[in-house]
Homo-oligomer: A and B are copies of this chain.
Amino acid sequence: MTAAGDLAAVYRAYIACLNRQDWASLAHFVHDEVRHNGRPFGLAGYRQMLEQDFREIPDLRFDIELMICDPPHIACRLAFDCTPKGRFLGLEVNGKRVSFAENVFYKFRCEKIEQVWSIIDKTVIEVQLQSS
């Protein structure tokens, strides 16, 4: 079993990999058969999801607000402050700047992400769009 400090370091390196958009390194952190919210994406599908996120949100950046590590699991609250170009989560954001959080759980196998359960705070974005 990987120690908590080691797994937290792996996770921070994964987030840095995303922020560099270093897709060639993604396989160091993500399992070939990764599942995301129950969907069997696999590594290729997972990479496609992330590449699409960056196309739709060019200033996307992942910031760790709170990390809870209990191997083989990590839970993280990620903070975003960014500008989706068009629709996002079914909402007409269209270039407005929005701030929101994602509460996400990961299960690791051999220090690679094998399962992800993610929820993005859609309600807080709706409130920002209504008041803008």
Contact = CB atoms under 8 A, between A and B. Distances in A.
Interface of A: 4, 66, 68-70, 73-75, 77, 89-90, 101-105, 117-123, 126
Interface residues of A, dominant DSSP: strand
Number of copies: 2
Query: 4 closest pairs, A vs B, by CB?
Result: A75-B75, A103-B103, A119-B119, A103-B119
B66 A68 contact: no
Given A68-B70, A73-B66, A90 B126 contact: yes
Nearest to A100: B119
A75 to B, nearest CB: 3
10 contacts: A4-B70, A68-B74, A68-B105, A69-B70, A75-B105, A77-B105, A89-B123, A101-B119, A103-B105, A103-B117
